Amino acid sequence: MIAIYTLWVREVKKYFRSKSRIIGSLGQPLLFLVALGFGLGPVFKAAGRGDYIQFLVPGIISMSILFLAIFSGISVIWDRQFGFLKETLVAPVPRWQIMIGRTLGGATVAILQGFVVFGISFLAGFRVVNFAGLPITFVFMAFIALIFTALGTAIASVLEDMHGFQLIMNFLVMPTFFLSGALFPLTNLPKILNAIVRVNPLSYGVDGIRATLDGASQFGLMADFWVLFGVTAILIAIGSYVFSKIQV
Amino acid sequence: MENIIEIKNLTKKFKEITAVDGISFNVKKGEIFAFLGPNGAGKTTTIKMLTTLATPTSGTILINGYDPTKQQNEARASFGIVFQDPSLDDDLTAYENLDMHGMLYKVKAKDRKERIEQLLRYVELWDRRKDLVKHFSGGMKRRLEIARGFLHHPKVLFLDEPTIGLDPQTRNHIWEYLKKMNTEEGTTVFLTTHYMEEADKVCNRIAVIDHGKIIAQGTSEELKASTNTNSLEDAFLALTGSEIREETVKNQAMSGRARAWRR
């Protein structure tokens, strides 16, 4: 278990050391919060949907976690290129422990980033409706962080270099974010879009966070919980497997 | 003397290329063993198979009595390795890099502290222990990696071209460290290098690999005598020819690129 702890500490330490990374990865969520939140707010209100900032913030928190989690997972490629990966691959511990340590570390960092965005959202006028729900909110944040760090790790384990990076951004990360209900309500959607949203695990994370902070759930909290629990377990299992098969 | 490494009919094939072609040799406990060969001859691939980073296509390996394909963790605990390319975490300090290594190898906290201080003083990096590794020169990184390789008291230390790209001062120091650790702690040293003169001075026994096959092995004197030459370099050229080799294996193309990162 000390291997898991060691790799976890490494990820967290590196996060706190890299101020530019902390600030840099805040840029995009804040831009979305300000541009969409205030830009589309009047339209949302006119449509009789209430306060858009209240609706949007859970989506933006999820987005910041999604991005950082994927990047933390993908850092396996950097470690491969800069050589450090080999040092961990020859260590006398099972490789799945290395993977779990990295994933927990990356997820921790992503959750911390989520907290920062959460904190800033209060400045934009966000209000928590139900404080008793907060601990459950954190559980959903953790699920999103774990799922996408594990996914990033799994993808990075089979890629050799950063050439596939643009592909991952445009065909995985962006669609996951935009087609998740982070930005728009999931009622009366076209059939195809509705189907895509329902197979996207992030939708359940956003829904869970929104339900616990603002009180309105689309799928039901139990459904959110069990879907995320299942996907987390599957992706960590797949990630551990492909990571343990890496040959350098 | 007892064998610490035993290799029998070891083969590694990548699609069409046979990188290592049925090699067999032994390394004795406590010796400094040089594994020489032109670029692309199969040295790095062999080291990868010995250190659990690649699976052999066929053949058997025993390291300290363990089979690295089956008893991976026992085999891994038996060796230390200094890779051809740097493998430190640049965003951590020198001390943190060693500390993390010690934790992964389950060295107890108190022993770890003492051992890290001993080794950092030894490679003359103790004063720089709190500096981030990204501010280190190539030679400093190499010395740190050697300290790291010895940290968990391995039975064998593998070094893949440990002195490549370094100035003569640093190279001499590195050979001194290796010789001293070899005599004081009895660590077997298995290394590859292109500096024949250095191999000649330091190593007890030598194996020469070319086109994936072992073409000669013995002491430096034996190799010189069998090829009727006066220096190890001439013996090496007599054995492997003087043509330039193309590096064919894809991993080596990658390591070349990674080397450009090293300062």
Residue A161's SS3 state is coil
Q: Is B52 on the interface with A (CB under 8 A)?
A: yes
Q: DSSP string spanning chain B?
A: --EEEEEEEEEEEETTEEEEEEEEEEEETT-EEEEE--TTSSHHHHHHHHTTSS--SEEEEEETTB-TTTSHHHHHHHEEEE-SS--S-TTSBHHHHHHHHHHHTT--HHHHHHHHHHHHHHTT-GGGTTSBGGGS-HHHHHHHHHHHHHTT--SEEEEESTTTT--HHHHHHHHHHHHHHHHHH--EEEEE-S-HHHHHHH-SEEEEEETTEEEEEE-HHHHHHHHT-SSHHHHHHHHH-SSPPPP-SHHHHHHHHHHHH--
CA–CA distance, A112 with A128 (Å, rounded to integer): 18
The per-residue pLDDT of chain B, averaged, comes to 90
Q: Are strands B17-28 and B156-160 parallel, antiparallel or unpaired?
A: unpaired
Reply yes or no on whether the pLDDT at A123 is more than 50: yes
Model confidence band, residue A163 (pLDDT cutoffs 50, 70, 90) = confident
Q: Which residues of A touch B102 (CB under 8 A)?
A: none
Task: Show residues of chain B in contact with A93, CB under 8 Å.
Answer: 73, 104
> pLDDT: is B107 or A22 the higher one?
B107
Give A-chain residues touching B101 at CB under 8 angstroms.
87, 91
- Write out the two tokens for B181: 């650790």
B225 part of contact set with chain A, CB < 8 Å: no
Tokens 């450090």 belong to A84
| B156-160 and B205-210 beta bridge pairing | unpaired
Q: With CB atoms and an 8 Å threshold, state whether B74 touches A92.
A: yes
pLDDT in tens, A218-244: 899 999 999 999 999 999 999 999 999
Interface check for A77 against chain B (CB to CB < 8 A): the answer is no
Place of tokens 């050229």: B237
Rounded to an integer, what distance in angstroms lies between the CA atom of residue A100 and that of residue A231?
15
Instruction: State the helix-helix crossing angle for B109-122 and B138-150, rounded to 10 degrees.
Output: 140
pLDDT at position B110, please? 95
Residue of A21 and B91 predicted with greater confidence: B91
Judged by average pLDDT, the poorest of A27-41, B42-56, B200-214, B231-245 is B231-245
Residue B256 has pLDDT above 60, yes or no: no
Give the minimum alpha-carbon distance from A165 to chain B in angstroms, rounded to a whole number: 18
Per-residue confidence (pLDDT) for residue B259, from 0 to 100:
42
Quote the percentage of chain A above a pLDDT of 90: 77
- Cβ within 8 Å, pair A86-B89: no
Q: Which residues are CB-neighbours of B83 under 8 A, at least 6 positions away?
A: A83, A86, B145, B160
Domain count, chain B: 1
The reported pLDDT for the residue numbered B9 is 96
Q: Of chain A residues 140-169, which have a CB less than 8 A from chain B?
A: 160
Q: Does A92 contact chain B (CB < 8 Å)?
A: yes
> Does B261 score more than 60 pLDDT?
no
Residues near B163 by Cβ (< 8 Å), separated by ≥ 6? B142, B170, B171, B174, B175, B193, B195, B198
A187 secondary structure, DSSP code: S
How would residue A167 be classed by pLDDT, with cut points 50, 70 and 90?
A: confident
Tell me, yes or no, if B91 comes closer than 8 A to chain A by beta carbon.
Answer: yes
pLDDT reading at A87 higher than 90: yes
Amino acid of residue A155: I
> Chain B: residue nearest A95 by CA?
B73
B89/A248 Cβ within 8 A: no
Contact B94, B131 (CB under 8 A): yes
Which range (A1-5, A49-53, B197-201, B245-249) has the least confidence?
B245-249
Q: B92: distance to nearest CA of chain A, Å? A: 7
Q: Does A1 touch chain B (CB under 8 A)?
A: no
Which residues of chain A lie closer than 8 angstroms to B103, CB-CB? 2-3, 5-6
The 10s digit of each residue's pLDDT in A178-201 is 999 999 999 889 999 999 999 999
Of A6, A10, A92, the CB nearest to B76: A92
Flag whether pLDDT at B248 surpasses 60. no
C-beta atoms of B52 and A94 within 8 A = no
Token pair listed for A181: 């209900």
> Which of A76, A8, A63, A41 has the alpha carbon at shortest distance from A245?
A76
**Largest alpha-carbon pair distance within chain B?**
54
Secondary structure class of A220 (helix, strand, coil):
coil
Q: In this complex, do A3 and B103 lie within 8 Å of one another by their Cβ atoms?
A: yes
| Short-list A245, A248, A247, A239, CA closest to A101 | A239
pLDDT at B1: 66
Chain B residues whose beta carbon lies within 8 Å of the beta carbon of residue A2: 103-104, 106
The reply to whether residue B91 touches residue A18, judged by beta carbons under 8 angstroms, is yes
For residue B261, the one-letter residue type is W
- For the domain that residue B254 is a member of, what is the CATH number? 3.40.50.300
pTM for the full model?
A: 0.89
The range of the structural domain enclosing residue B13 comes to 3-261
Preferred mutation among B103, B108, B263 to probe A, highest tally of A CBs within 10 A: B103
Helix (H, G, I), strand (E, B) or coil at A242: helix
Mean pLDDT value of segment B146-163:
95
Q: Do residues A242 and A154 touch, judged by C-beta distance below 8 A?
A: yes
Chain A CB contacts of B85 under 8 Å are 83
- Structure tokens given for A182: 């982070």
Any B CB within 8 A of A245 CB: no
Name which of A75, A84, A245 to mutate to probe chain B: the one with the most chain B Cβ atoms within 10 A of its Cβ: A84
Q: Report whether A206 contacts A182 (CB < 8 A).
A: yes
Residue B254: which pLDDT band, with cuts at 50, 70 and 90?
very low
Residue-level pLDDT at A138: 96
Q: Is there a contact between B260 and B84 (Cβ–Cβ < 8 Å)?
A: no
Range of the domain at A53: 2-244
- ipTM here: 0.88
pLDDT band at B241 (very low <50, low <70, confident <90, very high): confident
Segment A12-20 long-range contacts (CB within 8 Å, at least 24 positions apart): A12/A105, A12/A108, A12/A109, A13/B92, A13/B96, A14/B89, A14/B91, A14/B92, A15/A109, A15/A112, A17/B91, A18/B91
Number of domains in chain A: 1
- Nearest in space to B193 (alpha carbons), one of B223, B235, B163: B163
Element (H, E) at A129: none
